Amino acid sequence: MRAQAQWARWWRDVSHACGPATGVRTLFDTAAMPLFGRLGFRARNPRFAPGSATATLLTPGGQTIALLVRPWADHPPALFREATGAARETGADWCCIFAPPTLSIVPATGNVTRRSLDFTFPAAADPGSLGVLLMLAGSAAFDTGALDDWLEAARTDAARVRVDLQQGVIDALGGLTQVLTRATRGAPTGEALTLVYRILFLMFAESRDLVPRHHPIYRDAYTLSSLCSEALRATPARGVWDGLAAISRLSRQGGQVDTLQVFPFNGHLFSSQAAPTLEPTRGGGRRSRGSEARDLAVSRALVSLGTRREPAGRVAISYADLGVEELGAIYERVLDVDATPGAQVHKPSARRHSAKRKDTGTFYTPQVLADFVVQRTLAPLVEETSADRLLELRVVDPAMGSGAFLVAALRYLGAAYERALVRDGRCAPSDIADTDRAAFRRLIA
């Protein structure tokens, strides 16, 4: 209780004395140094530049950690590159990024992109969260190798999830292609790919609160996680084909009932023409011949794409924790699969994989490249721009493929909009929750 009271007092003092207008030097002296002193570090070689400060942190065991201090709530797309650069300059394997109200710990070794351990200081008021902060951000974590163990576990888990989901895509496409081939009498429609894309998109959207999954009506009746739970209880789960159709219609049309409001997703993915078997223009609403086979195919697809194998059974995949590398690998696997009627859905060979990509021009853009291009392009337009003017910006990607650049632009503009709201005095940094940030991105999109 004493430690919790001390941390609460430290954060109260920092949030009262500092804010978006506070200079980096003041943040370094009045906030960062007391914080890392409490965590057991000694600082040396502070260096100050416009908009940032760096230093070397030393642990009692002699480990060297880089420190990067940024302005309040400042997380530009190039931040990870800047952090790993600061770590390499000091010969450190880790960098601590202090940009209140967030502390991020970033690994600088190996093939790691945008992996970090993030803490928000207001959440440290919770005893459990404070315990995790002290355990993983304290100097002892670096001396004992606890963070190295965490990183290795994260790498291993990410690799397993990537492999499981890639195989899940193949399994889901195989079952859906078979049942749709029978339903369309062999006519090639590409509908199986559409359904897999919809499932992947909606699972990701649910994990990032892009849909109102916390509303009881939506959570129980219109989430893929609820359908997946039914499929795990009984395969085939009766009615999951119709359930997927209902979710698709709601995603396309949107709607509002009492306190539940669902915003529609535009674009071809949820068009009824893209899935004519799932959403027929006539004859819907009744259990027809083949319903059980369709329920079985959707049940297996939901289980393949929504869960992974563990020794104790299948467990849900956390799409919220998937990095761009995992999502990119899934996307590339879908691009590689031939799901036309009569084709065998299987893992493509490396030679076929390369030739098909070259012929179609379908390559996934790494996030680090997309973020860099977006930052260089948009930074001059958003600097010191008001929140309302930011909403007037229009971004066009005329050669859009996977949408990597537009997603990066949305993320960049969402962060810029948040900073502008604080700078304009319309809210305080502590007032903005993750649900608000999701709403900002929807507003910009």
List, for residues 16-38, the tens digit of each pLDDT value: 888 888 899 999 999 999 999 99
Helix, strand, coil in percent for the chain, rounding step 5: 55, 10, 35
Position 438 scores a pLDDT of 77
pLDDT at residue number 158: 76
Classify 397 in phi/psi space as left (phi over 0), alpha (psi -120 to 50) or beta: beta
pTM as predicted: 0.66
> What integer pLDDT is reported at residue 124 of this predicted model?
66
Segment 303-357, tens digit of pLDDT = 999 998 888 888 888 887 776 666 766 776 676 666 555 555 555 554 455 555 5
How far is residue 120's CA from residue 100's CA, in Å, rounded to a whole number? 8
Q: Is the Cβ–Cβ distance between 35 and 64 less than 8 Å?
A: no
pLDDT of residue 5: 78
> For residue 285, what pLDDT is reported?
47
The answer to whether the beta carbons of residues 194 and 274 sit under 8 Å apart is yes
CA gap 173, 155 in Å, rounded: 27
Name the DSSP class of 267: S
What one-letter code names the amino acid at 190?
A: G
DSSP code for 110: S
Which parts of the chain register pLDDT below 50?
Answer: 112, 284-285, 350-351
